[in-house]
């Protein structure tokens, strides 16, 4: 039951090139940066990453992106990462842009054993009808576009409505960051750092958590657990220095 792994390098050692990796975080909040750096040092490439965004230039997933380790992103937001946008628009990266709530539910569904679900989000748009650019060539022509999805009508309280079928996401591995975790893998996230972390933890076949505070089993009240240990296979305790390294995406100060 003790899932603690001594180092991040040991924890990610069996992630191979070509794997699909779900990564928690939103912007720069709750990002498992230590595990990402270990994955970078391991030299793996050709990754498909599932995450709300791709970090920023030179931090988080942005570090893997800058080294051309990611071949495909499933995400909601290009955000502040200029290299992400550049690679996508120049045909160097395939990107499946997905509505944010749909991405969250696809990850949750994958962890719940639900293969697909219907949602109203995207009905009547290219999300449902297909044609969203997934990959360009170097001249800006669309090489790969999203396929059309099944649309069905269901009875609702407001009458008949159309819904689009979205498939669940199951990743080979998931990397998450928690504020507190015990040796059995039970995790607690702090405030907005919860974001996509519980969902990423659910959808990974093997979930690896870096934790700022490692405690003994029983020290976390069962009612406080956000991710039960059944979803987590490995726990990496962070040093105080690693735990304190939290970037600010947009710093606002008085003049």
Whether residue 79 has pLDDT greater than 80: no
Whether residue 59 has pLDDT greater than 80: yes
The rounded percent of the chain whose pLDDT value lies above 70 is 100
8 A C-beta contact, residue 205 and residue 231: no
Mean predicted confidence (pLDDT) in 218-245: 96
- Report the pLDDT value the prediction gives residue 200, as an integer from 0 to 100: 98
Mean predicted confidence (pLDDT) in 9-13: 97
Mean predicted confidence (pLDDT) in 102-126: 97
User: Which residue spans of the chain are classified as CATH 3.40.1080.10?
Assistant: 8-115+168-244
Q: Could you tell me the pLDDT band of residue 131, with boundaries at 50, 70 and 90?
A: very high
Whether residue 248 has pLDDT greater than 90: no
- Report the pLDDT value the prediction gives residue 255, as an integer from 0 to 100: 80
Whether residue 187 has pLDDT greater than 90: yes
Q: What's the pTM value of the predicted model, to 2 decimals?
A: 0.94
Whether residue 18 has pLDDT greater than 80: yes
- Report the pLDDT value the prediction gives residue 101, as an integer from 0 to 100: 96
Whether residue 80 has pLDDT greater than 80: no
Q: Could you tell me the pLDDT band of residue 57, with boundaries at 50, 70 and 90?
A: confident
Sort strands 171-182 and 187-188 into parallel, antiparallel or unpaired: antiparallel
Average pLDDT, the chain: 95
Mean predicted confidence (pLDDT) in 240-244: 93
DSSP 3-70: -B-S-HHHHTTT--TT-EEEE--BTTBT--HHHHHHHHHHT--SEEEE-SS--BTTBTHHHHHHTT-E
- The answer regarding whether domain 8-115+168-244 maps to CATH 3.40.1080.10 reads yes
Apex 50 CA angle, 128 and 121, nearest 5: 25
Query: CA 114 to CA 100: how far, in whole Å?
Result: 18
- Report the pLDDT value the prediction gives residue 99, as an integer from 0 to 100: 96
Query: CA 106 to CA 96: how far, in whole Å?
Result: 13
Whether residue 250 has pLDDT greater than 80: no
Whether residue 157 has pLDDT greater than 90: yes
- Report the pLDDT value the prediction gives residue 1, as an integer from 0 to 100: 86
Q: Where are the alpha helices (DSSP H) in the chain?
A: 8-11, 33-42, 61-66, 82-89, 100-112, 126-129, 197-203, 240-244
Query: pLDDT tens across 188-213, in order?
Result: 999 999 999 999 999 999 999 999 99
Whether residue 251 has pLDDT greater than 90: no
Query: CA 151 to CA 149: how far, in whole Å?
Result: 6
Kindly state the tokens that stand for 4. 């603690």
Query: CA 112 to CA 103: how far, in whole Å?
Result: 14
């Amino acid at each position: 039951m003790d899932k603690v792994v001594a180092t991040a390098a040991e924890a990610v050692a069996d992630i191979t090139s070509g794997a699909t990796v779900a990564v928690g975080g939103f912007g720069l909040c709750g990002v498992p940066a230590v595990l990402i750096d270990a994955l970078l040092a391991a030299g793996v490439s050709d990754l498909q990453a599932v995450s709300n965004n791709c970090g920023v230039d030179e931090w988080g997933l942005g570090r893997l992106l800058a080294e051309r380790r990611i071949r495909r992103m499933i995400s909601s937001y290009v955000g502040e990462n200029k290299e992400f946008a550049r690679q996508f628009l120049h045909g160097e990266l395939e990107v499946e842009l997905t509505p944010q709530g749909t991405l969250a539910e696809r990850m949750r569904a994958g962890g719940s054993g639900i293969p697909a679900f219907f949602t109203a989000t995207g009905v009547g748009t290219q999300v449902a009808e297909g044609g969203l650019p997934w990959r360009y060539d170097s001249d800006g022509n669309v090489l790969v576009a999203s396929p059309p999805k099944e649309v069905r009508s269901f009875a609702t309280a407001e009458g008949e409505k159309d819904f689009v079928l979205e498939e669940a996401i199951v990743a080979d591995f998931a990397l998450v960051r928690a504020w507190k975790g015990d040796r059995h893998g039970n995790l607690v996230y702090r405030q907005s750092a919860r974001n996509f972390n519980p969902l990423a933890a659910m959808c990974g076949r093997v979930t690896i958590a870096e934790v700022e505070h490692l405690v003994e089993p029983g020290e976390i009240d069962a009612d406080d657990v956000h991710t039960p240990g059944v979803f987590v296979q490995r726990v990496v305790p962070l040093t105080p220095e690693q735990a304190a390294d939290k970037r600010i995406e947009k710093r606002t100060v008085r003049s």
